[in-house]
């Protein structure tokens, strides 16, 4: 699912849009918080979606931010290696 969500993100946002990939297995706090409920897409402290991309929330986030800061917005894709 993580690879699928990343592929959809890249197709919608382009390859240059910053997406930080975070492995929850490398962080005990994230592992405790999300467990097997990955992938999770977050922007800052805001969780946008789990398991499947919520295009409406992603669009709302991106188009609610002016153009210049939008490119500085980093979304994080939380997932696991397994």
- Edge-to-edge, what's the strand order for the sheet holding 75-79? 19-23, 75-79, 40-43, 46-50
- Binned at pLDDT 50, 70 and 90, residue 79 comes out as confident
Does residue 59 or residue 42 have the better pLDDT?
Answer: 42
- pLDDT at residue 27, rounded to an integer: 92
Q: Phi and psi at residue 43, in whole multiples of 5°?
A: -130, 110
SS3 37: coil
What confidence tens digit (pLDDT) does each residue in 1-47 have? Answer: 788 888 988 888 888 888 889 999 999 999 999 988 999 998 878 88
CB contact set of 63 (below 8 Å; sequence gap of 6+):
none
Residue count of the chain, please give it.
Answer: 82
- Model confidence, pTM: 0.74
């Amino acid at each position: 699912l993580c690879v699928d969500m990343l592929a959809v993100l890249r197709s919608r946002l382009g390859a240059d849009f910053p997406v930080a990939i975070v492995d929850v297995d490398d962080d005990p706090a994230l592992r405790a918080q999300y467990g097997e409920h990955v992938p999770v897409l977050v922007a800052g402290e805001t969780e946008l979606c789990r398991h499947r991309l919520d295009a409406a929330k992603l669009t709302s986030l991106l188009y609610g931010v002016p153009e210049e800061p939008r490119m500085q917005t980093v979304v994080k894709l939380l997932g696991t290696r397994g």
